[in-house]
């Protein structure tokens, strides 16, 4: 039991940190521009594909630097040449633009790398066992993932709270007009934030490409979960995103390991459920089976009960 | 969008246009009757295509009640299409078992199913509009899709639920076996649904939906609870999505998990938006065009989803009014003397546009074949050309065509603009003359 708990906890933390890498960029973009960026997970996917390609051409360590920079440039271009033009059409037009973009990026990736998952093995440089826990090896790439994620959190935290540009960004989140009146170039700040968020997503893609299958549907599998994290954490709150990532990561990892259903619980409590009850099938779903839908359940409940999320200061 | 909507409503409240409006509906009915006998569409393929278009049109129209009329961006509208479809297919199984009801009422049952679930979910999702609504519909869409694999009794798992549309009480001797009978059933329901939806947009509630879209605070000051108005729109949209789901159940005799999936929700969104959300007829246009592309383009190219995505993006960036908006934009200038000049401008711009499209499609098709179908080799036949993706010449040729076409297209814009300037100047002049 202790073994299961510890291993699940560790895996949950690793998964949660990966989610945080993805959601930190999204929560910045979203809180600043009010845009539900559907293409964020697609940029993450591009990061994974870029790192695969650059890794084959040059090597893994250069890819770790170049892929995020490419993703950042793409993000800047999206903001400058796309979003800015649809901005006058309101939030719906912006959301639809990123929705269409996500769709296009998926097809673009298919066009270049094909529909099948790439064999994207962990590069030898980080493919060794860091330590053992109850006989289970803990691979080094997961350690690197944790390290980068924590470093990202610290960097963002310091950059936002302690630097001048961070102050301007924070002010532009809530009072763009006042910031512009003070002589700051708010559109340039928008481009910067979008580029930064996309670069972070790309960095997550380089690392996370090993954790997921590198295939065109990758964006669709992680995209909605990232929205869940951002909503749960609270709009624009870095700490909130961190807590929510951990929560989702740990809840999902533990849920997969729990092989009990509501029916078992009811029986343990001596509550009888007749074999013909129409709800019997619902009760007999095992927690492990329901694991993939738990985040969405949390999302819907959170939006109904508290649309500002755990640490958010304003509604979505 | 709202400006166009007001223009539309102003135009249609005139005295003479009342007759025109009925004329429009009569013409639509006549078209629906004649279509399956038009050469080219009178085969089983054409009739099946028309049936699919009818289903898609009802679904897209119901979606646009949310997006276009109430300003609610939903990412989970297929939930009500699919759940309505599941209710309908279970009802069809009852008919197969001997319940003495004709199959023609199944869409109504599907609609009631959609209405029930829209009321159930809508009571919590329509509290807020905007981004919260978009997210919550996304969450519920994912939930229902995932649940469809967990609850086998209702959803039937991977295989879905099947039923037979022929084994039911005949209606006037019709058993709805042949596709032509199914087509007329779908056409009938599509016509009724479109008429009812249009009528809904003309009621005071429908008007309040527009008010809630444009300015919820003001609507509240007038004395209407925006939350209640949103809920009414949501439930009505859910009902008609369920009707479309019921038609889907009749047409395919199977409802599976893809009916509630995200992809289908996205399709409704894309159809409504490409068609034009600011005009009532827009989603129908979108449904017809997209269904046609889905059925035909997918035969010719593996990259058709990419083309569809590019088309969608082009509409978002350059024609937010959609196809209907583009058409309506030309309505006032058709009678001007400068109109031929506008057309001439289009003709000038069309040539480089085609060149650019051919160049782009060469690059896209070669890349797609190499990436997704390496077993087909590097040889590819496109239009009239035999290309070999292994030689750099094919790539260079495609790139040159695309670049040259794009540059010339950009240079041809002033021709189009000049025609438009003349036409609008002429319009202004004649408007001044009237005053």
Q: Is the CB of B142 less than 8 angstroms away from the CB of A296?
A: yes
**pLDDT 10s digits, A253-292:** 888 777 777 777 777 777 766 666 666 777 777 777 777 7
User: Cβ atoms within 10 A of the Cβ of A123, count?
Assistant: 16
pLDDT of A32 > 80? The answer is: no
Interface test with A, best of B150, B268, B322, B364 (most A CBs within 10 A): B150
Residue A35: closest C-alpha in chain B: B131
Closest by alpha carbon to B241, among B203, B283, B282?
A: B283
Which of helix, strand or coil describes residue A116? coil
Quote the tokens at residue A84. 């800015």
**pLDDT 10s digits, B101-133:** 888 889 999 999 999 999 999 988 888 878 888
Question: Residues near A120 by Cβ (< 8 Å), separated by ≥ 6?
Answer: A48, A52, A209, A210, A214
Contacts of B130 in chain A (CB under 8 A): 91
Residue B310: closest C-alpha in chain A: A104
Distance CA A49, CA A215 (A): 8
Q: Is the CB of B136 less than 8 angstroms away from the CB of A114?
A: no
**pLDDT 10s digits, B377-390:** 777 777 777 777 77
| B214 in contact with chain A, both atoms CB, cutoff 8 A | no
**pLDDT 10s digits, A180-231:** 888 888 888 888 888 988 999 998 888 877 777 788 888 888 888 888 898 8
Whether B195 contacts B24, CB under 8 Å: no
pLDDT of B14 > 60? The answer is: no
Which of helix, strand or coil describes residue A272? coil
CA distance A305 to chain B (A): 10
Give the pLDDT band (50/70/90) at residue A45: very high
**pLDDT 10s digits, B323-346:** 988 888 888 887 777 788 888 888
Give the pLDDT band (50/70/90) at residue B392: confident
| B400 in contact with chain A, both atoms CB, cutoff 8 A | no
Binding-face residues of B in 373-392 toward A, CB within 8 A:
374
pLDDT of A49 > 70? The answer is: yes
- Alpha helices in B103-174, H assignment, sequence order: 106-125, 130-150, 152-155
C-alpha count within 13 angstroms, C-beta hemisphere, residue B304: 13
Quote the tokens at residue A102. 């996500």
Q: What is the ipTM of this complex?
A: 0.84
Whole-number pLDDT of residue B118: 94
Distance CA B110, CA B147 (A): 19
Quote the tokens at residue A252. 């999902």
Residues above pLDDT 70, as percent of chain B: 94
| B120 in contact with chain A, both atoms CB, cutoff 8 A | no
Q: Is the CB of A107 less than 8 angstroms away from the CB of B306?
A: yes
**pLDDT 10s digits, B47-83:** 889 999 999 999 999 999 999 899 889 998 999 999 9
Whole-number pLDDT of residue B120: 92
CA distance A1 to chain B (A): 28
| B135 in contact with chain A, both atoms CB, cutoff 8 A | yes
Whole-number pLDDT of residue B432: 66
Strand partners, B381: B386
pLDDT of B435 > 70? The answer is: no
Interface test with B, best of A38, A41, A98, A99 (most B CBs within 10 A): A99
Whole-number pLDDT of residue B146: 86
Q: Is the CB of A108 less than 8 angstroms away from the CB of B372?
A: no
What percent helix, strand, coil does chain B show, rounded to 5? 80, 5, 20
């Amino acid at each position: 039991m202790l073994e299961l708990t510890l291993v699940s906890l560790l895996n949950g933390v690793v998964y949660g940190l990966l989610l945080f890498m993805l959601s930190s960029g999204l929560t910045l973009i979203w809180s600043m521009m009010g845009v539900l960026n559907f293409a964020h997970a697609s940029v993450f996917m591009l990061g994974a594909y870029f790192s695969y390609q650059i890794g084959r051409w040059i090597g893994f360590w250069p890819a770790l630097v170049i892929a995020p920079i490419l993703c950042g440039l793409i993000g800047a271009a999206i903001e400058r040449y796309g979003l800015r033009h649809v901005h006058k059409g309101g939030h719906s037009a912006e959301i639809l633009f990123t929705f269409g973009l996500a769709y296009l990026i998926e097809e673009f990736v298919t066009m270049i790398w094909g529909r099948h998952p790439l064999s994207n093995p962990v590069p030898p440089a980080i493919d060794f066992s860091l330590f053992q826990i109850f006989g289970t090896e803990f691979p080094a790439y997961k350690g690197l993932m944790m390290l980068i994620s924590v470093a990202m959190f610290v960097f963002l935290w310091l950059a936002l709270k302690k630097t001048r540009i961070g102050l301007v960004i924070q002010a532009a989140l809530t009072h763009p007009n006042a910031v512009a009146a003070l002589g700051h170039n708010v559109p340039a700040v928008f481009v910067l934030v979008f580029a930064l968020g996309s670069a972070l997503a790309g960095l997550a893609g380089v690392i996370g490409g090993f954790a997921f299958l590198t295939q065109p549907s990758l964006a669709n599998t992680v995209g909605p979960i990232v929205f869940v994290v951002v909503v749960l954490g609270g709009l624009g709150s870095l700490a909130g995103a961190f807590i929510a990532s951990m929560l989702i990561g740990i809840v999902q990892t533990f849920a997969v390991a729990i092989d009990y259903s509501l029916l078992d619980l009811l029986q343990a409590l001596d509550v009888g459920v007749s074999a013909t009850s129409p709800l019997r099938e619902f009760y007999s779903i095992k927690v492990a089976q329901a694991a993939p839908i738990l985040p969405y359940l949390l999302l819907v409940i959170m939006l109904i009960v508290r649309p500002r999320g755990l640490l958010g200061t304003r509604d979505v | 969008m709202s400006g166009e909507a007001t223009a539309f409503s102003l135009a249609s409240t005139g005295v003479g246009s009342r007759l025109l409006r009925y004329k429009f509906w009569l013409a639509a009915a006549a078209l629906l009757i004649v279509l399956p006998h038009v050469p080219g569409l009178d085969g089983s393929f054409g009739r099946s295509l028309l049936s699919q278009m009818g289903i898609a049109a009802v679904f897209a129209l119901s979606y646009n009640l949310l997006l276009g009329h109430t300003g609610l961006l939903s990412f989970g509208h297929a939930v009500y299409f699919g759940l309505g479809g599941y209710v309908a297919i279970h009802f069809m199984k009852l008919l197969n078992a001997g319940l003495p009801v004709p199959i023609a009422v199944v869409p109504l049952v599907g609609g009631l199913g959609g209405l029930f679930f829209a009321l159930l979910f809508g009571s919590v999702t329509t509290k807020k509009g905007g981004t919260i609504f978009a997210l919550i519909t996304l969450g519920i869409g994912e939930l229902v899709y995932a649940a469809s694999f967990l609850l086998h009794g209702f959803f039937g798992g991977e295989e879905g639920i099947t039923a037979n549309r022929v084994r039911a009480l005949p209606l006037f001797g019709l058993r709805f076996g042949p596709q032509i009978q199914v087509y007329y059933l779908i056409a009938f329901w599509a016509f009724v649904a479109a008429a009812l939806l249009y009528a809904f947009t003309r009621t005071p509630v429908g008007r309040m939906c527009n008010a809630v879209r444009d300015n919820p605070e003001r609507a509240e000051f007038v004395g209407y609870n925006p939350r209640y108005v949103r809920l009414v729109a949501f439930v009505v949209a859910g009902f008609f999505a369920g009707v479309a789901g019921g038609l889907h159940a009749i047409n395919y005799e199977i409802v599976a998990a893809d009916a509630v999936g995200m992809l289908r929700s996205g399709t409704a969104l894309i159809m409504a938006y490409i068609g034009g959300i600011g005009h009532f007829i827009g989603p129908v246009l979108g449904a017809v065009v997209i269904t046609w592309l889905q059925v035909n383009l997918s035969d010719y190219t593996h990259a058709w989803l990419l083309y569809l995505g590019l088309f969608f993006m082009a509409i978002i960036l350059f024609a937010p009014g959609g196809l209907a908006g583009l058409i309506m934009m030309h309505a006032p200038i058709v009678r001007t003397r400068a109109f031929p000049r506008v057309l001439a401008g289009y003709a000038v711009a069309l040539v480089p546009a085609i060149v650019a499209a051919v160049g782009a499609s060469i690059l896209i098709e070669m890349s797609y074949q190499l990436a997704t179908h390496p077993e087909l080799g590097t040889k590819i036949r496109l239009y009239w050309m035999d290309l070999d993706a292994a030689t750099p010449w094919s790539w260079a040729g495609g790139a040159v065509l695309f670049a040259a076409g794009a540059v010339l297209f950009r240079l041809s814009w002033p021709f189009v603009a000049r025609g438009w300037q003349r036409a609008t100047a002429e319009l202004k002049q004649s408007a001044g003359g009237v005053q």
